[in-house]
Amino acid sequence: MIYVTKSPKETQELAGFLLGKFSKIISKKALVVALEGELGAGKTTLVQGLAKALKIKAKIKSPTFTLIKNYPITNYELRIRKVIRNPQSAIRKFNNLYHLDCYRLRDHKDLEILCSKEILNDPRNIVLIEWSDRVKKILPKKHIKIHIDHIDKNVRKIEVKS
């Protein structure tokens, strides 16, 4: 799917919409979202929108220097059921949002040191990986890829593949 947003706010709102779709993906592993795009394309803005949809109150910044941040998710299952308004629908319960920035990593071996297999294998985790192309060898076969193209100052083309 291809989406076009015309402001950072629209990009964040799109992230909330996509989260509803992602929540329906049933898997025995973490929900891994690989984010790609040039500097300033809007990867972190998209992550901020996902965090906002999850009601995470922390200020979300790109973890360029810390490389990985963990944000606990509380009561997400109840909130998403209200949005969907179908309590019988299958919804994953998420407990943690992990935000990784691989810009400074050389390759997937550097990530293996930071991001344990437990994080990627736990179905209660959402793992968002900026600059994921640098660590593609470690990504699970089933992951969501989001590529963001910077069209102009505010316009972004966002391509989602699963």
Return the closest-CA partner of residue 43 out of 18, 11, 13, 3: 11
- Written as one letter, the residue type at 157 is K
pLDDT digits (tens, 9 = 90+) for 93-119: 889 999 988 886 666 666 666 666 788
What's CA 78's distance to the chain center, in Å? Answer: 20
* Cβ 29 vs Cβ 120: under 8 Å: yes
For 107-125, letters b (16+ CB in 10 Å) and e give: eeebbeeebeeebbebeeb
Write down the mean pLDDT value for the chain: 83
pTM: 0.83
pLDDT at 106: 66
How many Cα atoms are found within 13 Å in the side-chain-facing hemisphere of 139?
A: 24
Q: At a CB cut-off of 8 Å and minimum separation 6, what does 152 contact?
A: none
Per residue in 123-132, pLDDT tens?
999 999 998 8
Domains of the chain: 2-161 (3.40.50.300)
